[in-house]
Amino acid sequence: MLQRIELSHLGRVYEDGCVALAGASLELRAGSITVLVGPSGCGKTTLLRLIGGLDAPTSGRVLFHGADGLLAQPRTAFAFQEPRLLPWRTVLANVALPLELAGVPVVERAERATAMLERVGLVNAVRKLPGQLSGGMRMRASIARALVTAPQLLLLDEPFGAVDEIARHALDDLLRSLWAELGMTVVMVTHSIVEATYVGERVVVMAPAPGRIIAEIFPQFTERNSALRATAEFATVTAGVLRALGEAMVEEHS
């Protein structure tokens, strides 16, 4: 069982000499939810790809620790800013696709996909095509597809960046609800400071040139609900993230 993820002095240099990431070290507790913020080009997506095994570091290591020692890459799922649903497949068939590729029998994958669609509030849309859904509904389907395999690690790259603010708030609540219910480790990239503060147990602030971690903030609230975003407590924590991000921007232009 996954206990923690250790990012040890991660670096990534591309073929053109661009240093996308330098010396990034971070420990992620299993079952935690971490949000990465920072200006464009600071290595957020690169770090996410390294954690997910989609890319290999130039230096450093990503280590997955279990109760009995090191583990291989845990069950990992991704969701991106674009839902990337197949337009000719129904919502149910899209969500069931990872199970189909894994060879899960037809009846079982239909049952599991339907159950996950019910969790995200789309059980009445199972026979619809993606083009018949709103942007928020398409993202819910994308999240359902990512979670249908019961991943230990969920990696999200700006998943709600393309929807309106009201839908985004609802999706943030859905994400935290699913995280609390299913217990997976979540690492999320966003450009929204409000979203980062609301969603994250930990907000990691990154700076570019080269991409690196410069601050960690741990938002702690008694309760997270729609009313929280309008409180002075929330504004204070958000201001702290903004200050750290401002320092990152100053470093970028200094």
pTM of the model: 0.94
pLDDT score, position 138:
94
Q: pLDDT tens for residues 116-142?
A: 999 999 999 999 999 999 999 999 999
What pLDDT band is residue 150 in, cutting at 50, 70 and 90?
A: very high
User: pLDDT at position 250, please?
Assistant: 60
Phi/psi at 207 (5° precision): -125, 150
21-27 mean pLDDT = 94
pLDDT exceeds 80 at position 251: no
Q: Residue 76 falls within a domain, yes or no?
A: no
Coil vs helix vs strand at 135: helix
CB 108 within 8 A of CB 99: yes
Whole-number average pLDDT of the chain: 92
Does 9 map to a domain?
Answer: no
Please tell me whether residues 197 and 235 are part of one structural domain. yes
Q: In total, how many domains does the chain have? A: 2
Alpha-carbon 146 to chain mean position: 11
Q: Which residue has the tokens 């009846």?
A: 107
Beta-bridge mates of residue 7:
26, 62
**Percent of residues, the chain, with pLDDT higher than 70:** 97
Whether residues 214 and 140 share a domain: the answer is no
Q: What is the CATH number of the domain that holds 198?
A: 3.40.50.300
pLDDT band at 111 (very low <50, low <70, confident <90, very high): very high
pLDDT 10s digits, 220-232: 998 888 889 999 9
Domain enclosing residue 164, as ranges: 29-58+152-254
d(CA 252, CA 236): 25
Q: Are residues 103 and 52 part of one domain?
A: no
Residues 85-116: b if buried by 16+ CB within 10 A, e if exposed: beeeebbbbbbbbbbeeeebeeeebbebbbeb
pLDDT tens-digit readout, 53-92: 999 999 999 999 998 889 999 999 999 888 899 999 999 9
Q: How far apart are CA 13 and CA 58, in angstroms?
A: 6
